[in-house]
Structure 1
Amino acid sequence: MDFNVHQRSGPSQPALFEDTSAPQQQPNRTQPQAGPSFQQYGQYIQDPMVANMAMQYGSSLATSGKAYVEQNLDRYIPVSRVKFYFAVTTDYVVHKLVLLLFPFLNKEWGAYNNTGGEPTRHLNSPDLYIPVMGFATYVVAVAVALGNQGKFTPEMLGMTATTAFVWLMIEIGVVQLAMYLISVTTDIKIFDLASFSGYKFVHMIVCVVSAMILGSTGYYLSFIYSSAAIVYFLICTLRYIILPDSTEDRIARGSKRRNNLLLLIAFIQPLIMFWLTHHVTYGPDPSPLPKTSL
């Protein structure tokens, strides 16, 4: 009798439990390849051909970006027009400062060409270089004057610059509003107004320096002279623009509205000059120099 049990052939039954005793083969998965190392990138960048291509691409990108910025910036700010007001030379600056400080000695007052070209074409043409430099020098001069009085604080620099800039904008706005209300059309541009209004910073520097050296007496003497100088300069310069000399506009030349506009621009300068400089005279007057016995 055969006690050996023979397994019947047939479909295999699924195992209830997985046999983990025998090592199982892992599926053949593709191992990720290691990327290029930092050293390989460095060698790639140091390649002369790659470096030249990168430089050319960066240069072309910078050029196109600059052209795009200038093209879109001109829509809001006339950059080319602003450059015209800063196209000055050393000779022009020196002669213009002499003209501002001593306008009574000048005999040639003529209309300037504000349609193009550089300010150096005519001494009476406006520029923004002197007003900007005068504005910065005025702030420094006030800081030094207040420092001599023991009143200087770092906040005074920002306060002085902000106050002067705000009053300059108010002045330009008042003139523009006056031109609109009295219906006067002139060839003067807004940058021309900023230039002529900014020339008073040169005279304000003279007043502040005189106050530091000679005290309140020197301040008021220099203020009287500077006020007369800036008023005379503006009247002689702007009369060719606000009061045209053409035959066709004789009625406009004698118009009270145009005369009043010219006087407004000229005589508003001393008021703002006094308001922005009179506080430097609050300190004590400088002590007199000791007398030396011979």
Structure 2
Amino acid sequence: MYNNPATQPGGVPIPPTNPQPTPFGNTFYGAGSGLIRGGLGAYGEKILGSSSEYVQSNISRYFSDPQYYFQVNDQYVRNKLKVVMFPFLHRGHWTRITEPVGGRLSYKPPIYDINAPDLYIPLMAFGTYVVLAGVLLGLQGKFSPEALNWLFVKGSLGWCMQVGLLKVTLLSLGSGEAPLLDIVAYAGYTFTGLCLAILGKIVLRYTYFVLMPWTCLCMGIFLVKTMKRVLFAEVRSYDSSRHHYLLIFIALAQFPLFMWLGNISVNWLF
């Protein structure tokens, strides 16, 4: 009833007419697709490679390798504590030692450089600070697990405040290149002096009023020396008057911070 376009009037089917592929067409098609795939692949690898290199460079630039800060030994710990607690007796230079690694200069780890920052001493000092504060509360008859938790929070907040003070100072002076873990390590040395002052208060109460100003002064000198080294190494334009004022501000800010952290009481805010 209906005519099928695929058959002749006599009912004989018409063979389908498919174009025969030519060798030139296959060759051009394969070459074109290969060029496209190769070009896109090379372009994608270039983008991904540059992106990963940018991310890795920025991570190493601002955070460094955490393992670097724990390469210490007993000799380094003793000498570093002397530098932190008696910075005016440090007769050597304050510049960090560099070495070529992979075609670029890198700082030597703390085990080989007394001026390198580490996280071992700050973390141990922070833990000792919390323990000594708990002992002092126990001697005063005010110890409780909640009070110890609040002291931990108070110490952590004080550490963060010190980090913020140093970081903002460096940024205001045009030096924001120092790795964050370096700043965290420098700020964590605060607890070495606090441990000494609290220990003096436990052993003999009135020695606290002598040790606390002493440790504040020593920490201020240590941070001023350290920040001056960082500034001289990284700041391109040096404004002596502005830098000196801000460095003095860092030293003076240690006194209220130490007094607040050294005031061990149930009320962690005061």
Q: Percent identity?
A: 28
Residue equivalent to 2:256: 271
Q: Within 5 A, what are the aligned runs for 1:98-247?
A: 98-113=82-97, 115-180=106-171, 182=172, 184-185=174-175, 187-215=177-205, 217-244=206-233
**TM-score normalised by structure 1 residue count:** 0.61
Deviation at 1:139, TM superposition (A): 0.1
What whole-Å deviation, never above 9, does each CA across 1:95-136 have from its counterpart, x for those lacking one? 111222222222113211473431122211111110000000
Q: Against the structure 1 CA distance between its residues 176 and 100, is the aligned structure 2 distance closer, same or farther, given a 3 Å change threshold?
A: closer
Selected match of 2:74 from 57, 73, 90: 90
Letter paired with 2:225: C
How many matched pairs? 202
- How far apart are the structure 2 equivalents of 1:75 and 1:232? 33
Q: Against the structure 1 CA distance between its residues 245 and 197, is the aligned structure 2 distance closer, same or farther, given a 3 Å change threshold?
A: closer
Residue equivalent to 2:101: none
Deviation at 1:276, TM superposition (A): 0.9
What whole-Å deviation, never above 9, does each CA across 1:206-257 have from its counterpart, x for those lacking one? 1101111111x211100111111111222223212224599xx5x50x4333
Retained in 1: the 8 A contact 2:173–2:243? Answer: no
Letter paired with 1:189: P
- How far apart are the structure 2 equivalents of 1:267 and 1:258? 14
- How far apart are the structure 1 equivalents of 2:167 and 2:83? 26
| Higher relative contact order, structure no. (Cα contacts within 8 Å, ≥ 6 residues apart) | 2
Retained in 1: the 8 A contact 2:125–2:192? Answer: yes
CA RMSD, aligned part only?
2.8
Letter paired with 1:279: I
What's the secondary structure of 2:137's corresponding residue?
A: helix
What's the secondary structure of 1:158's corresponding residue?
A: helix
Deviation at 1:189, TM superposition (A): 2.1
- How far apart are the structure 1 equivalents of 2:169 and 2:229? 19
Q: Against the structure 1 CA distance between its residues 113 and 264, is the aligned structure 2 distance closer, same or farther, given a 3 Å change threshold?
A: farther
Stretches of structure 2 that go unaligned for 5 or more consecutive residues are 1-55, 99-105, 266-270
Q: Against the structure 1 CA distance between its residues 87 and 204, is the aligned structure 2 distance closer, same or farther, given a 3 Å change threshold?
A: same
**TM-score normalised by structure 2 residue count:** 0.66
What whole-Å deviation, never above 9, does each CA across 1:250-277 have from its counterpart, x for those lacking one? x50x433322332333332232111011
Deviation at 1:179, TM superposition (A): 3.7
Q: Against the structure 1 CA distance between its residues 245 and 177, is the aligned structure 2 distance closer, same or farther, given a 3 Å change threshold?
A: closer
Q: Against the structure 1 CA distance between its residues 127 and 113, is the aligned structure 2 distance closer, same or farther, given a 3 Å change threshold?
A: same
